[in-house]
Structure 1
Amino acid sequence: MCYHTALTKRPEVIEQHLRIPFIDVDVYEPYYYQNGFTHDYMYIIPQNESTHIYPANWGLIPKYQLNDPEKFYSNFKYNTLNARSEDIFKTTTYKNHIHERCLIYCDGFFEPHAHPDGSKQAYFCYIPDATEQDGRKLFCFAGLYSSDGRMSYYTTLLTTEADAFFSEIHNEAKRMPFVLDDEYLKQWISNDLSDKDVKEIIKEGYTNDKFSAYPVTKDFYSRKKSIDKNSPNILKEVRTTLF
């Protein structure tokens, strides 16, 4: 599972990554922490409009529910923040969106590590990049989306079985978000992919870049409204017992 992300890059950095502009750059707001359950904007390149970057509410809304997004989000029976890549061709929620794929931009995300005493420690996960001012590479999750045809988008990111590194970090669920290798970015949003091609990218397309991770403040799990998690402090490394 991946329910918390970060995207702190300036808009021009994001636009240069694939040489694609925002549909409306004034809508873009960098963030240090986003909780998927608030359904705020992620920033995507959708397959049907791949010449621009669009804001998309985090949480895919199936076609049959697009007439009332708020009602769908308020029904806690449904969690469409993540889609298991192994199941997207099987589940009713996602199989109708196989050919509505997107790239979801991020430069980091948070995963929980469970300790034997039942406590959890949040880790910030990122791809190191010395050429970036903040030392973190911009990357793309493989995603699916839905749209009401009136410029409103709703998205989910794919997950997959954790590799050795993320099995240590996310040691209960042992899942990780599906981060596409740069080689597959344009292919993922191509209109020419068959179902077989999509399955092949899911099989072979996970990034070859190596992730790093470090523990962050205990405030990450605080429910106090006085704590602003969307601030640089949430990304600061803290000392903790190593797992």
Structure 2
Amino acid sequence: MCGRFTLNLAPAVLQEWFDIIEGVDYPPRFNIAPTQPVIVIADQEKLRRAILMRWGLVPMWVKDPREFPLIINARTETLPEKPAFKGGLRHHRCIIPASGYYEWRKGADGKKQPYYITLKDSEPMAFAGVYSTWMGPDGEEIDTTAIITLSANKDIRHIHERMPALIGKSQIDDWLNVRGVNEKEAYAMLRALPEGKLDWHPVSTRINSVQNDDLHLLDVVSEARPETPKKPVSKQMDLF
């Protein structure tokens, strides 16, 4: 699965790399977590836009999102069939830009060691995603998204069995083109990266707390380091 990621690209780099119509102002983030607002790139009304959406998909047919389970990932194996995803694959494909992401490896002692994973060439990551606009009974609208995942490649299978589906730069136009590229053609793009494309290193267990969001979360460690408990201060935005 993919449960935490980072985005510390300069806004100008994001605009140029993903060819969006205008820049978007955002602070660097080093511990993006489910239910938080995330930047999502989608083609809407023939224009490529960067939009804030809640990470946690709520299909448009849900009556009460408070009673619906949190869906942060969509598995490729069930993407074309599950009601929550198949409409998104056809009509609402998107990209979630990232600098890297975190995954946890469970040791023999049961403890989990977090790792930070990036592309070796340091290029931006383009997570394949689907999104939905939920409309409430009073006319309110909430845009939500989920990251598509697939079986991990050999590079990182020793860390975790799943990884985000990454769209190559040359495929971004086709992935986002829901009018000209059908769901079968788009689904064929969801393939694991070849070996040798990823870098990874262990990081502190400070990443386990969503209250921590700083550059030092990316520091290389030899083993997990306990942190001094702090009074929680929520940085999440409640979109419900």
The reply to whether TM is greater than 0.5 is yes
Contact kept? 2:58, 2:134, Cα under 8 Å: no
Q: 2:217 aligned with 1:234, yes or no?
A: yes
Aligned-partner SS, 1:169: coil
Higher percent of residues as strand: 2
In structure 2, the residue matched to 1:4 is 4
Contact kept? 2:153, 2:193, Cα under 8 Å: no
Q: 2:76 aligned with 1:93, yes or no?
A: no
- Aligned runs of 1:182-221 on 2, under 5 Å? 182-190=169-177, 191-203=179-191, 206-207=192-193, 210-221=197-208
Q: Equivalents in 1 of 2:176, 2:144: separation in Å?
A: 16
- Aligned runs of 1:108-147 on 2, under 5 Å? 108-129=100-121, 136-147=122-133
In structure 2, the residue matched to 1:30 is 28
Q: How far has the Cα of 1:202 moved from its partner?
A: 2.1
Identity percentage of aligned residues = 25
Aligned-partner SS, 2:96: strand
Contact kept? 1:60, 1:156, Cα under 8 Å: yes
Between 1:146-155 and 1:177-186, the stretch displaced more is 146-155
Counterpart residue type for residue 176 of structure 1: M
Unaligned runs of 5+ in 2: 225-240
Structure 1 outlier segments of 4+, above 4 Å: 148-152, 206-209
Counterpart residue type for residue 187 of structure 2: K
Q: 2:52 aligned with 1:55, yes or no?
A: yes
CA 29–22 in structure 1, closer or farther in 2 if over 3 Å, else same: farther
In structure 1, the residue matched to 2:167 is 180
Contact kept? 1:182, 1:207, Cα under 8 Å: no
Return the TM-score normalized by structure 1: 0.81
Unaligned runs of 5+ in 1: 130-135
Higher percent of residues as helix: 1
Aligned-partner SS, 1:219: helix
Q: Give the root-mean-square deviation of aligned CA atoms.
A: 2.3
Counterpart residue type for residue 182 of structure 2: S
Counterpart residue type for residue 86 of structure 1: E
Contact kept? 2:38, 2:55, Cα under 8 Å: yes
Return the TM-score normalized by structure 2: 0.82
Q: How far has the Cα of 1:230 moved from its partner?
A: 0.4
Contact kept? 1:160, 1:176, Cα under 8 Å: yes
